[in-house]
């Protein structure tokens, strides 16, 4: 069965950008994965479909009610259980969570099912955590208006790793961070644009030289822009050789 992704959100229509366009849209259309949405308003008990209320203790803003979220998440788990997926990985998008990086993406793409909770307002009632094994995932140290955009980012990053989603088998392997390094520069036609020439090595037809050039460029960019990625990296002999070249060219610090 293709991986199943379920999103609990007040604004399922926002996810058309994910399900209707680009790589992720094609993956959904070709049934490489399933994406389904659950609106907490459908699990409310009052005529106004209330999903939020003022926080106990006072303060600004509103907090999402525990009951609609609990019932929605319970319904998702029941649906997955009927499909033979008893313990889905459940994620709440929150700035307090583990940072989303390529390592986590590679973990998540192995999961047969993911349940994402996109919060709104000031957050969710803490008792939702007591009822469900939610792990928190963050895009970074900043606050957004809701969890929908982070959920879309997470799903896009995961879906593009599904075999067949990108069309070319090697495309995902060459992404930035796929091997712990930043991506190399890319060029296409024309060879010369207003005096800006594409590197000759990329047009020479020597695949070994192209691979060496690309690795060297990746190492150079990573050392310059994200040196932290190299600190605990187990270097291959070729990488050590190329890093040595780069350092000698840079000269004494």
Catalytic residues: 95, 122, 160, 175
- Whether the CB-CB separation of 8 and 80 falls below 8 Å is answered with no
Cis peptide before 205 (omega within 30 of 0): no
Beta strands in 43-105 (DSSP E): 52-53, 63-64, 89-99
- Residue 163 burial by Cβ neighbours in a 10 Å radius (0-12, 13-18, 19+): exposed
Q: Kindly report the CA angle at 44 between 38 and 48, in degrees rounded to 5?
A: 115
52-53 and 63-64: which strand pairing? Answer: antiparallel
């Amino acid at each position: 069965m293709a991986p199943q992704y379920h999103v609990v959100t007040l604004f399922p229509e926002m996810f058309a950008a994910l399900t209707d366009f680009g790589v992720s849209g094609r993956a959904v259309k070709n049934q490489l994965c399933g994406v389904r949405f659950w609106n907490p308003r459908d699990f409310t008990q009052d005529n106004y479909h209330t999903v939020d209320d003022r926080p106990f203790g006072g303060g600004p803003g509103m907090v999402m009610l525990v009951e609609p979220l609990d019932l929605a998440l319970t319904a998702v788990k029941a649906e997955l259980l009927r499909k033979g997926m008893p313990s889905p990985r459940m994620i709440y998008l929150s700035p307090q969570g583990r940072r989303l990086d390529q390592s986590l993406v590679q973990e998540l793409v192995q999961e047969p099912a993911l349940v994402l909770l996109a919060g709104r307002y000031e957050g969710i009632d803490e008792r939702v955590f007591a009822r469900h094994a939610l792990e928190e995932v963050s895009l970074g140290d900043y606050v957004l208006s809701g969890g929908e955009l982070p959920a879309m980012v997470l799903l896009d990053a995961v879906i593009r790793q599904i075999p067949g989603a990108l069309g070319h088998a090697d495309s995902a392997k060459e992404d930035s961070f796929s091997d712990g390094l930043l991506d190399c520069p890319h060029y296409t036609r024309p060879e010369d644009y207003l005096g800006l020439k594409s590197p000759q090595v990329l047009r020479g037809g020597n695949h070994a030289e192209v691979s060496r050039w690309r690795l060297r460029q990746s190492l150079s960019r990573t050392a310059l822009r994200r040196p932290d990625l190299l600190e605990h990296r187990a270097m291959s002999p070729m990488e050590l050789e190329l890093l040595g070249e780069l350092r000698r060219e840079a000269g004494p610090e």
